[in-house]
Amino acid sequence: MKKLFGSLLAVSVLLSLAACGGKEEKAADDFSIKDRYTLDETTPAWKQDKKEETTKIRWYINSDWTSLPFGEDVTTAQIKKDLNIDIEFISGDDSKLNAMISGGDMPDIVTLTDMTGQAAKKADSWALPLNDLAKKYDPYLMSVVNEDTFKWYALDNGKTYGYPNYSNTEADYEAGNVPVNDNFVIREDVYNALGKPDVSTPENFVKVMKEISEKYPDYTPMGFTTIGEAAGPFSDKLQDFLGVPLEDEDGKFYDRSMDEEYLEWLKTINQVYRDGNISDDSFTDDGATFDEKVKQGKYATMLVAGTSGQGGNFTEFMKNSGTQYIAIDGPSSTSGRKPTLNQTGISGWLSNYITKDAKDPAKVTQLFTYLIDEPGQILTKYGVEGVTYAYNDEGKIDYLDEVKEMEKTDNEAYNKKYGISRFLYFNNDRVNSLKVKQVSALTQMQEWGVGKLTPHFVIENTNPDAGTAEARSNEAIETKLNTTIVSLIRSKDEKAFDTTLNNFKDFLENNKWEAIKDIKSEKMAENKEKLN
């Protein structure tokens, strides 16, 4: 029913978007900045705007999040002051977005969580192109956007409507701006007591998990971040540790889930499970339960997807235990392939659009420029100079002592007062290098990952288009794959493992997998063209 509803919703969104397609871009055509400021390519428009009245901006986020209060913390109060704006956040889901589009009552800004959805693909029917907005209201915008990201987001008409946060480019990877976010970790006290064992081969992995079980019966030898709907870290994350290729020798789609080394490691992890060294609870624990076990150090080792999200848990464990979790070489290629760990790609995470109903498109364009520009990046990431941070003798950003102390002792009050890194709709990793490097529970894990990241841009957004028969088959295959991976790991013996795997291969054959692979290959070719 959920999938049927999703398909019907996609169709209704398409119909609504089609109905909006003929809507005149009145905001762009009729709105005037006469008497407010003159266009200047070298100065951001927000610094020149003489408008005295505070501009009210309605900002819709297509996710059921708790809206952040605007203007109450140090960070957003500065945004409010600099631009003379007030923001009302609205949140919702696809149904609410569809209703707004079809009803013609759009907010000023829309933030989407998927640049491949129908709303994003048909953005020209309800949003204004940033290219045109820059020419009309703030040419300085084009000097601060990332050229590769801007090109990546262009629609078929050559114009760009959305701009994301955390869009990492090839240059960002090469510059080392992007930290690893997946690790295989082990309690350092356990690691040292066992003589710093090598767990990079299947044989050693099974052996060391047995040793942990014998010497530390109170610990679960191997844990992992919660499974959810995507097989947790055991699908693409594990493939990345093994350096499974992104494309075949001809540059076409490579079925990473059927890679021989990957399947060999799934068999290895299944052996660890059958030895009793992976708990059944780990497959059903919710986030809060997992978090508590990490804080208490219940897992001797863990395969972690999203290391940064565990920073607080790792910190609390380190603070209370006298030891810490450290990253080591976990499951590795058996043929010498190097890890190809992934991070947020060029598509980013959230994408932001200015709608045709924007009441003051000039001011909203100014807001985009302000948040994309480096000073805005520093503000939303680190706060206000003299209030939350100061520059040291080397010109690096260093938080003030009282800010550091509040973050450690009262994180809720810290967030409420300063709002550091919470207004993240346009944030990226490029300003990470501006901050003083401070040793934390994540430092060693991130240092371990230096040189192990590889952009996965070529396989981004390669699923069949929503609403097609291939898209429905692909969704069914992805769901089946996730349940299959878990079933493989929990197989009672090798025969059951092989039976489950063969059943999945039959499922692929019966669900248009070859046609889907062709579509993915075509989209990979399109990505390569965008990326030159």
Q: Number of folded domains in the chain?
A: 2
Same domain, 325 and 359: no
Whether 13 is covered by a domain: the verdict is: yes
Give the mean model confidence (pLDDT) for residues 272-281: 97
Paired strand residues for 122: none
Whether 285 is covered by a domain: the verdict is: yes
Same domain, 144 and 210: no
Output the six-digit token pair for 264. Answer: 């060999």
The overall longest dimension of the chain from CA atoms, in Å, is 78
Q: Can you tell me whether residue 354 is helix, strand or coil?
A: strand
Cα of first residue to Cα of last residue in the chain, in angstroms, is 42
Whether 108 is covered by a domain: the verdict is: yes
Give the mean model confidence (pLDDT) for residues 154-167: 96
Paired strand residues for 186: 301, 326
Whether 450 is covered by a domain: the verdict is: no
What residues have CB less than 8 Å from 260, skipping those under 6 apart? none
Whether 428 is covered by a domain: the verdict is: no
- Kindly report, residue by residue over 313-363, the tens digit of the pLDDT: 999 999 899 999 999 999 999 999 999 999 999 999 999 999 999 999 999
d(CA 180, CA 450): 7
Strands (E), 355-429: 389-391, 397-399
- Kindly report, residue by residue over 412-441, the tens digit of the pLDDT: 899 999 999 999 999 998 998 899 887 889
Angle subtended at Cα 350 by Cα 416 and Cα 125, rounded to the nearest 5 degrees: 125
pTM, full prediction: 0.86
Of 383, 408, 438, which closes a domain?
Answer: 383
Whether 18 is covered by a domain: the verdict is: yes
Q: What is the CA radius of gyration of the chain?
A: 25
DSSP 67: P
CA distances from 360 to 24, 57, 139 (A): 16, 8, 16
Same domain, 374 and 320: no
Question: What is the residue range of 477's domain?
Answer: 182-342+456-530
Give the mean model confidence (pLDDT) for residues 140-166: 96
Give the mean model confidence (pLDDT) for residues 89-109: 91
Output the six-digit token pair for 353. Answer: 């659009």
pLDDT band at 7 (very low <50, low <70, confident <90, very high): very low
**Residue 488 belongs to domain with CATH number:** 3.40.190.10
Whether 446 is covered by a domain: the verdict is: no
Q: Can you tell me whether residue 99 is helix, strand or coil?
A: helix
Judge whether 345 and 116 are in contact, CB under 8 Å. Answer: no
Output the six-digit token pair for 39. Answer: 């266009």
